[in-house]
Amino acid sequence: MNLPILYSFRRCPYAMRARLALAISGAEIRIREVVLRDKPAEMLAASPKGTVPVLVLPDGQVVDESLDVMKWALARSDPENWRGADSAETDALIVQSDGAFKHALDRYKYPNRYDGVDPEAQRTDGLAILAEWNARIVASGGQLLGPDRTLADMALFPFVRQFAATDREWFAAQSLPALQEWLAGHLASPLFKSIMTKHAQWRPDSGGRIPAG
Ligand SMILES: N[C@@H](CCC(=O)N[C@@H](CS)C(=O)NCC(=O)O)C(=O)O
């Protein structure tokens, strides 16, 4: 059967959010695991900008922005009504996440990649945003926009996961109880586990089999 193909990298937070939405939608897809320093020519031919995720539909249409992949999946099927939340609030959270939070996250996690960056100052900037999200989760009753997970939660938590994992001990010592519980809940969810399956690097002749173990 001709299935949509998703070029993905297991640990990429953008690819994670795409896989989360594809999984909840029940879309059947074929995953092609990419190694970022060895991107397949097939992926670059479909999307020359060279970032994952890239979804290639059977009719040749290419969706190569993670949020667009989420929206494509949820437009087909949205069983938990992830797109039911206020869209202006959702958009604002994603702008904050993909903008200011990601900026701080990258410089905190990889200070050597940037000139004159103080990782602790970047961590403080990230923490200020997390404190806002913590307050929001408290006010909303468990998730960012209400008691139930929506597109915003699924788009953001892979980035919070990365921030938390940079120094777990420090993160655990911060006073962000609602956000810490929110993150732990998403990491423990069957949905997240289902999208973190390991795949060997895809090669044109490898067919996309899942390795044992
Ligand atoms: N705006 C893009 C960003 C995707 C992105 O930057 N993905 C990273 C991996 S997490 C990537 O592919 N980087 C290219 C590289 O490292 O060569 C999206 O939302 O899909």
Nearest alpha carbon to residue 15 among 40, 33, 41, 27: 33
Ligand 1 pocket, residue 52 CB under 6 Å = yes
**Which atom of ligand 1 is closest in space to residue 51's alpha carbon?**
12
What's the domain range around 113? 83-189
pLDDT value of position 134: 98
Q: Are residues 65 and 34 in the same domain?
A: yes
Domain boundary among 52, 80, 108: 80
pLDDT at 209 over 80: no
One domain for residues 76 and 88:
no
Rounded to an integer, the average pLDDT of 169-174 is 98
Contacts of 92 (CB under 8 A, 6+ apart): none
In the structure, what pLDDT confidence band is assigned to residue 92 with cuts at 50, 70 and 90? very high
Look at ligand 1, atom 19, and give the residue with the nearest C-alpha. 66
Q: Which residues pair with 30 in a beta bridge?
A: 5
Report pLDDT digits (tens) over 17-69.
999 999 999 999 999 999 999 999 999 999 999 999 999 999 999 999 999 99
In a domain, 204, yes or no: no
Please state the rounded mean pLDDT for residues 139-152: 98
- Residue 210 — very low, low, confident or very high, per pLDDT cuts 50/70/90? low
82 contacts 149 by C-beta, under 8 angstroms: yes
Instruction: Point out the ligand 1 atom lying closest to the alpha carbon of residue 64.
Output: 20
CATH code for the domain in which residue 141 is found? 1.20.1050.10
* Mean pLDDT of all residues belonging to the chain: 96
Q: Distances in Å between the alpha carbon of 158 and those of 4, 13, 42, 56, 183? A: 23, 5, 26, 23, 9
Supply the pTM of this predicted model.
0.95
Question: What is the Cα–Cα distance from 23 to 17, expressed in whole angstroms?
Answer: 10
Q: What per-residue confidence (pLDDT) applies to 205?
A: 78
> Span 134-163, mean pLDDT?
98
Do the Cβ atoms of 98 and 158 come closer than 8 Å? no
Ligand 1 centroid to residue 69 C-alpha, Å: 13
pLDDT over 70 (residue 211): no
Residue 51, ligand 1, Cβ within 6 A = yes
Choosing from 51, 63, 68, 163 the residue with most ligand 1 atoms within 8 A of its CB, the one to mutate for a pocket test is 51
Count CA atoms within 13 Å of residue 190 on its CB side.
Answer: 1
Q: Counting atoms of ligand 1 from 1, which one is nearest the CA of 18?
A: 20
Selection from 47, 9, 14, 48 nearest residue 31 by Cα: 9
Residues in the chain: 213
- CA–centroid distance, residue 151 to ligand 1 (Å): 19
